[in-house]
C-alpha cells in the first residue's frame, strides 16, 4: 500500500480516547510483518518489538498515540436529538454543521445542529455557539434512536482524507495517526538495516485525556531512551513563529527542559549526516505529548520529541505534508541504526 493509502485508512478509522481497541488491531496488522513480536498491555497500548543485534539489551521506545479527540452522548432528548460532551480538547466553534458518526448498537450518521440563526437575536449571533446548546440530529424517530443509542456512546467526527495540492493531505485524527504512520515507516526502514538496540514501537492509548497509555507502556518496557512522535503546530496566519513550524520543511525536533540535551544533539547530528531537512520546535512546557509521561517513568528516562508539522490541530481538517512523515521515519531509522551502548550509557552522566 502507498503511504497515503495507509494514512487514509488510519485517519478514517475511529479511535476516540478509551475506545482504541479495534484501531489497535488494525494497526497491529500493519506492523506484523516487520517486527518480531506484538503485544497489547492492560490499557490497550500496542507494543511492537523488534530485536537488535547487540550483546547488551539497550531498549529504545518510540511512542505515537492511537487515540483521537471526540464526543460522547450525555442525553437522548425528546424528538431523538442527542446532547453530548467532549472527549479531549475540542474547540466548540468547529462543531456546528459537522457530520459525525455515533457508535451505538449500530453506527449512525448525524449532523451537529444548533439554534437556527433566524431565531437568534443580534447579540446571540455575535457569540459562538455553545456546546451545551448543540445537539446531534440523526434524522431518525425518537423510538428508533432510543433503541440504538444510549448515554455514554462515543461519537467520532466524520471526514474522509482529502488530497490537497503538493503532497499535502487534510483529515481528522492526523493528530496522531500521522505519528503512528511515522512509526510504521521507521520500522519498515529499519527492517532493511542492522541495528544494535532493541526497538519498542508503541501505539499508545488515551494521550488526549492525559497521556495515560504512555504512563503504563513506558513502565512496562523500561526503555533506555524514549521518543514521543507526535504533531506540532504548523505555521499559519494568526500564529507566532515561535509557536509553530513550517509545513513541508521537515520534521521538528523539540527543545525545552524536558528534552534530554544529548539526545536531541544526536538527532540533529544524524539528520545533518544524512542531509535531511529538519526544524526546531520550542517546547517550554513538558505537557502536550506522551513525552510528559515517558520522562518521569520509574527512575527517569532520557526523552526527546519528534513532531510532524500540522495545521488546524483538533479540527476535522488537520493538514500535513506527507513528506514530513517520510523524512521523520528516515531520521529515526538512521538514529536507531547508529545507537550503541556507550552513547546510551552516557545519557545518564551529567
Partner 1 sequence: MFLKQLSEAVGVSGREAEVRDLIREEIKDDVDRIETDALGNLIAFKEGKPEQPTVLLAAHMDEIGLMITDITDDGLLKFKPIGGIDKRILVSKEVVVGPDQIPGVIGAKAIHLQESDERKKPLDYGELYIDIGTKEKEESEKLVELGMMATFATEFEQLGTATVKGKAFDDRVGCAALIELLQQEHQLSIIAAFTVQEEIGLRGASVVAYDLDPDLALVVEGTSASDVPDTKEAGYSTQLGAGPALTIQDSSLIPSQPVVNKLIEVADQNDIPYQFRKLTRAGTDAGALHLTKEGIRTAVISMPCRYIHSPASLLNLNDYQATVELLTKFCQDMEEGGLADEGVN
The C-alpha cell of 349 is what?
A: 552522566
State the DSSP H helix or E strand holding residue 73, giving kind and residue range, or none if neither.
strand 70-76
Give min distance, CB of 245 to partner 1, in A: 13
Q: Which of 38, 43, 140, 209 is close enough to bind partner 1 by CB under 8 A? A: 140
The verdict on 237 binding partner 1 (CB under 8 A) reads yes
The C-alpha cell of 115 is what?
A: 439554534
53 is catalytic: no
CB 247, CB 320: distance < 8 Å: yes
**CA triple 193-222-187, angle to 5 deg:** 25
The residue (of 120 and 262) whose beta carbon lies closer to partner 1 is 120
The verdict on 119 binding partner 1 (CB under 8 A) reads yes
The verdict on 118 binding partner 1 (CB under 8 A) reads yes
DSSP 141-167: -HHHHHHH--TT-EEEE----EE-STT
The C-alpha cell of 270 is what?
A: 544524524
Burial 35-65 (b: 16+ CB within 10 A, else e): beebebbebbbbbbbbebeeeeebbbbbbbb
The verdict on 98 binding partner 1 (CB under 8 A) reads yes
Binding track, positions 167-186, relative to partner 1; x by CB under 8 A: -x-x----------------
The residue (of 92 and 262) whose beta carbon lies closer to partner 1 is 92
Give min distance, CB of 260 to partner 1, in A: 24
The verdict on 193 binding partner 1 (CB under 8 A) reads no
Interacting residues toward partner 1 by CB under 8 A: 77-79, 81, 83, 89-99, 108-111, 113, 115-119, 125-129, 133, 135, 137-140, 144, 159, 162-166, 168, 170, 233, 236-239, 243-244, 248, 288, 311-317, 319
Amino acid at each position: 500500500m502507498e503511504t497515503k493509502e495507509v494514512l487514509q485508512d488510519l485517519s478514517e478509522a475511529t479511535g476516540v480516547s478509551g475506545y482504541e481497541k479495534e484501531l489497535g488491531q488494525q494497526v497491529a496488522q500493519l506492523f506484523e510483518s516487520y517486527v518480531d513480536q506484538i503485544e497489547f498491555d492492560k490499557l490497550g497500548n500496542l507494543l511492537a518489538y523488534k530485536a537488535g543485534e547487540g550483546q547488551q539489551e539497550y531498549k529504545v521506545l518510540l511512542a505515537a498515540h492511537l487515540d483521537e479527540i471526540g464526543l460522547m452522548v450525555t442525553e437522548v432528548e425528546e424528538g431523538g436529538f442527542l446532547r453530548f460532551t467532549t472527549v479531549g480538547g475540542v474547540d466548540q466553534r468547529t462543531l456546528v454543521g459537522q457530520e459525525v458518526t455515533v457508535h451505538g448498537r449500530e453506527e449512525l450518521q448525524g449532523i451537529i445542529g444548533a439554534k437556527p440563526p433566524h431565531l437568534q437575536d443580534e447579540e446571540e449571533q455575535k457569540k459562538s455557539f455553545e456546546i451545551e446548546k448543540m445537539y446531534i440530529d440523526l434524522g431518525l424517530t425518537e423510538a428508533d434512536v432510543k433503541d440504538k443509542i444510549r448515554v455514554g456512546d462515543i461519537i467520532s467526527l466524520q471526514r474522509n482524507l482529502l488530497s490537497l495540492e503538493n503532497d499535502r493531505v487534510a483529515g481528522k485524527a492526523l493528530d496522531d495517526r500521522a505519528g503512528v504512520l511515522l512509526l510504521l515507516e521507521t520500522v519498515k526502514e529499519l527492517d532493511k538495516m542492522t541495528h544494535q538496540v532493541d526497538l519498542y514501537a508503541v501505539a499508545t492509548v488515551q494521550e488526549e485525556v492525559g497521556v495515560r497509555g504512555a504512563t503504563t507502556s513506558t513502565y512496562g518496557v523500561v526503555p533506555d531512551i524514549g521518543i514521543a512522535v507526535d504533531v506540532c503546530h504548523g505555521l499559519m496566519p494568526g500564529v507566532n513563529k515561535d509557536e509553530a513550524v513550517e509545513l513541508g520543511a521537515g520534521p521538528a525536533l523539540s527543545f525545552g527542559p524536558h528534552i534530554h540535551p544529548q539526545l536531541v544533539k544526536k538527532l540533529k547530528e544524524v539528520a545533518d549526516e544524512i542531509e535531511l531537512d529538519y526544524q526546531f520546535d520550542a517546547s517550554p512546557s513538558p505537557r502536550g505529548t506522551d513525552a510528559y509521561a515517558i520522562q518521569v517513568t520509574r527512575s527517569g528516562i532520557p526523552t526527546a520529541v519528534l513532531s510532524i508539522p500540522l495545521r488546524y490541530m483538533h479540527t476535522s481538517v488537520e493538514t500535513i505534508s506527507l513528506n514530513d512523515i517520510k523524512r521523520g521515519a528516515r531520521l529515526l531509522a538512521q538514529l536507531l541504526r547508529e545507537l550503541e551502548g556507550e552513547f546510551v550509557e552516557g545519557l545518564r552522566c551529567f
